[in-house]
């Protein structure tokens, strides 16, 4: 890899191949997110035991474990058979030796050699495309690695600019254009993560914040980042980007980057290129990155999609019965109002149960931690069927239960080099159930964008209450013409619940039966009374059901 400067990059169509281009609507995708260093090393054998996983020492999880592009390539069928259709890779670019996660980039023009070469990444993408799997790269545009020091050492943000000290070495960062102290904000490290403008001006820990505002310098930095990541689209035929740390960027920077990247992708014939962003916050904050932004250089469209963090923040508590089910419906109402203001759809959400950060948790934990497998199934079931594009975090399907005081505790290896073991078992219970849910989502995809419908519910013989006001169980109803889908979940661990539902018709004909699509067998009769349809169903503890 010889590129060291932006001038070395050729973005013409010359030698670009769009072979096996995938033209599916993005709303049909199921994303599988993996940490490159933790997924597979290409060596560990397929002979995982049924019990005890390796007990990694805490210090081991803070270090590189040896995952590679070749390791991922060897497990593409594992991902496809799980029902996932898009692979989101954690950042693949060069980091310093101590950094395993990829978000501390010192060379934006090369892959991290410990993951593999650029040719191996290209081969991974090529093989994925042959299996009709899309590949998304995780990209960073607002900071570099800890490539330089302040004149007075580590500094916390205090609203003032500080003096540049020195570069840590003569090589990084690359491209060489980023070796310009004037490109950096130099405002010190963020201390208050929800305080503006600190959250957009400060360094993320020791990572060095680039200027990306609507200033002349900000435009130069953005133009550099646009050229860098356009290069990766051309070089590897990438299908989309996940944009990191959106909350720490100005909406104008996000909009300019997204607009220009989509424009270049279309130039290459990739008119379905997707950019989804990590904007951690409420719907008001996220909406700022969906909107069209006006700058001195014109109008620019923001993100194609964003992570639904508000749903993520309540989902686990809903499933574990620690929060009333009615909170889900209130959230949905807020969600819809924001989308209407921004002319967006529910399919523009990336919906997820957990991830590699678990932001806002004191003791960080995967959804499998202190959860029964039935609870994990219910969480994934809601992620797959409520609305939006589902995203599954690697290892969930193998019941990984990482937890601890640091992000690294959530990022267990799916292999163990010393014991020659790996945890990629297609016969495991959760793998098979999640695969079944994915197949069912594909079969029932028309319901994905259908609106929530209000039915009236009686719990254990009580009064009928609007489904959006019930607290005891999750009941989610959707309709497409004369077809109806109902999601049901009983969060109680030791109590069976008897439900009678009065089904909304909205003028449509009432059919005579509902079938179990998941979580049960057979059919439920729909009793006709005074122009309404009624069903009766008993839910066992932690039972998750889909009826159609």
Q: 132-182: per-residue pLDDT in tens?
A: 999 999 999 999 999 999 999 999 999 999 999 999 999 999 999 999 999
Residues 6+ apart with CB under 8 A from 20: 126, 129, 130, 132
DSSP summary character for residue 81 = H
Compute the residue count for the chain. Answer: 548
3-state SS assignment for residue 247: helix
* Cα–Cα nearest to 125, from 31, 235, 24, 12: 235
pLDDT given for residue 290 in this prediction? 95
DSSP string, 348-410: GEEEES--SS-TT-SSEE-TTTT--HHHHHHHHHHHHHSSSEEEEETTGGGT---EESSGGGG
Quick: pLDDT tens for 396-425: 999 999 999 889 999 999 988 777 788 898
pLDDT category of residue 109 using cuts at 50, 70 and 90: very high
Q: How confident is the model at residue 223 (pLDDT cuts 50, 70, 90)?
A: very high
Please tell me the distance from the alpha carbon of residue 329 to that of residue 349, in angstroms, as a whole number: 16
pLDDT at position 260: 98
What are 537's strand-pairing partners?
499
Task: Give the pLDDT confidence of 252-270 residue by residue, as tens digits.
Answer: 999 999 999 999 999 999 9
pTM of the model: 0.96
Contact 539, 473 (CB under 8 A): yes
Beta-strand relationship, 389-393 and 349-352: parallel
Given a contact cutoff of 8 angstroms between Cβ atoms, the answer to whether 128 and 87 are in contact is yes
Give the least confident one: 7-21, 273-287, 303-317: 7-21
pLDDT of res. 2? 66
Peptide bond into 197 cis (omega under 30): yes
d(CA 1, CA 11): 16
Handedness of CA 382, 383, 384, 386 (dihedral sign): positive
DSSP for 127-191, please give it.
HHHHTT-EEEEEE--SEE-S-EEETTSS-B--SS---EEEESSSS-SBSGGG--GGGB----B-S
The Cβ of residue 386 has, within 10 Å, a number of other Cβ atoms equal to: 22
Q: Per-residue pLDDT averaged across 236-261, rounded?
A: 97
- Residue 538 φ then ψ, to 5°: -100, 130
Give the model's pLDDT for residue 536: 97
pLDDT band at 92 (very low <50, low <70, confident <90, very high): very high
Q: What is the pLDDT of residues 490-544, one digit of tens each?
A: 999 999 999 999 998 776 677 889 999 999 999 999 998 877 899 999 999 999 9
On average, the pLDDT of the chain sits at 94
Structure-block tokens of residue 157 = 């943000």
Distance from C-alpha of 548 to C-alpha of 515, rounded to nearest angstrom: 5
First vs last C-alpha separation in the chain: 54
Show Cβ contacts of residue 440 under 8 Å, excluding neighbours closer than 6 positions.
384, 517, 518, 546
Query: Which residues, in sequence order, are bridge partners of residue 390?
Result: 351
Residue written as tokens 């993560």? Answer: 193
Q: Give CA separation, 73 vs 77, 401, 417, in Å.
A: 9, 25, 18
Tell which residue, 291, 246, 31, 26, has the closest CA to residue 137.
Answer: 31
Per-residue pLDDT, averaged over 307-311, amounts to 98
**In this predicted structure, what is the pLDDT of residue 362?**
84
**What is the reported pLDDT for 59?**
74
* pLDDT at residue 122, as a whole number: 97
pLDDT-derived band at 210 (thresholds 50, 70, 90) equals very high
Share of the chain above pLDDT 70, in %: 96
Angle at 415 between CA 412 and CA 416, to 5 degrees: 100
Answer whether residue 281 shows pLDDT above 50: yes
Give the pLDDT confidence score for residue 51 in this predicted structure.
47
The encoded tokens of residue 285 equal: 């904050």
**Which pLDDT score is estimated for 102?**
95
Confidence (pLDDT) at 43: 86
pLDDT above 90 covers a percentage of the chain that reads: 86
Q: Give the residue-averaged pLDDT of 359-383.
A: 95
Residue range 453-479, pLDDT digits in tens: 999 999 999 999 999 999 999 999 999
In this structure, the strands spanning 86-89 and 93-95 are unpaired
């Amino acid at each position: 890899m010889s590129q060291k400067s932006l001038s070395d990059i050729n973005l013409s169509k010359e030698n670009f191949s769009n072979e096996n281009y995938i033209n599916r609507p993005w709303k049909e995708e199921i994303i599988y997110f993996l940490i490159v260093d933790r997924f597979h090393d290409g060596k560990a054998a397929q002979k995982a035991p049924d019990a005890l996983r390796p007990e990694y020492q805490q210090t081991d999880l803070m270090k590189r474990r040896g995952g590679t592009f070749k390791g991922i390539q060897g497990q593409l069928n594992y991902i496809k058979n799980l029902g996932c259709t898009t692979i989101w890779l954690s950042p693949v670019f060069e980091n310093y030796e101590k950094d395993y996660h990829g978000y501390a980039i010192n060379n934006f023009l090369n892959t991290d050699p410990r993951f593999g070469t650029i040719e191996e990444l290209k081969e991974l993408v090529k093989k994925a495309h042959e299996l009709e799997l899309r590949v998304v790269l995780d990209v960073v545009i607002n900071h570099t690695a800890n490539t330089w020091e302040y004149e007075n050492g580590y500094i916390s943000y205090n609203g003032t600019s500080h003096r540049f000290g020195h570069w840590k070495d003569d090589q990084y960062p690359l491209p060489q254009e980023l070796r310009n102290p004037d490109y950096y904000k130099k405002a010190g490290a963020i201390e208050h993560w929800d305080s503006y403008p600190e959250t957009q001006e400060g360094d993320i820990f020791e990572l060095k914040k680039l200027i990306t505002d609507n200033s002349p310098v900000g435009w130069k930095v953005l133009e550099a980042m646009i050229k860098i990541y356009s290069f990766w689209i051309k070089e590897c035929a990438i299908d989309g980007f996940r944009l990191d740390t959106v909350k720490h960027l100005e909406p104008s920077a996000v909009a300019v980057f997204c607009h220009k990247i989509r424009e270049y992708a279309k130039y290459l014939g990739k008119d379905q290129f997707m950019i989804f962003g990590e904007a951690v916050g409420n719907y008001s904050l996220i909406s700022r990155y969906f909107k069209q932004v006006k700058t001195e250089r014109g109008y620019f469209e923001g993100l194609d999609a964003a992570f639904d963090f508000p749903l993520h923040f309540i989902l686990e508590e809903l499933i574990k019965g620690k929060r009333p089910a009615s909170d889900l419906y209130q959230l949905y109402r807020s969600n819809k109002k924001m989308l209407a203001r921004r002319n967006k759809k529910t399919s523009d959400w990336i919906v997820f149960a957990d991830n590699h950060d678990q932001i806002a948790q004191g003791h960080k934990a995967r959804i499998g931690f202190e959860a029964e497998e039935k609870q994990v199934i219910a969480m994934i079931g809601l992620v797959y069927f409520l609305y939006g594009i589902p995203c599954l975090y690697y290892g969930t399907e193998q019941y990984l239960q990482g937890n601890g005081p640091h992000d690294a505790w959530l990022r267990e290896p799916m292999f163990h080099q010393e014991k020659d073991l790996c945890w990629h078992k297609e016969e495991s219970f959760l793998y098979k159930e999640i695969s079944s849910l994915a197949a069912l989502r594909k079969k029932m995809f028309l319901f994905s964008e259908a609106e929530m419908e209000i039915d009236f519910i009686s719990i254990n013989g009580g009064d009928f209450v609007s489904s959006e006001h019930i607290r005891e169980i999750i009941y989610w109803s959707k309709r497409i013409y004369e077809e109806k889908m109902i999601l049901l979940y009983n969060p109680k661990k030791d109590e069976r619940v008897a439900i009678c539902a009065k089904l909304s018709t909205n003028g449509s004909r009432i059919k005579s039966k509902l079938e179990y699509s998941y979580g049960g067998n057979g059919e439920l009769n729909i009793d006709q009374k005074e122009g309404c349809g009624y069903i009766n169903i008993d839910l066992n503890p932690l039972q998750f059901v889909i009826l159609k």
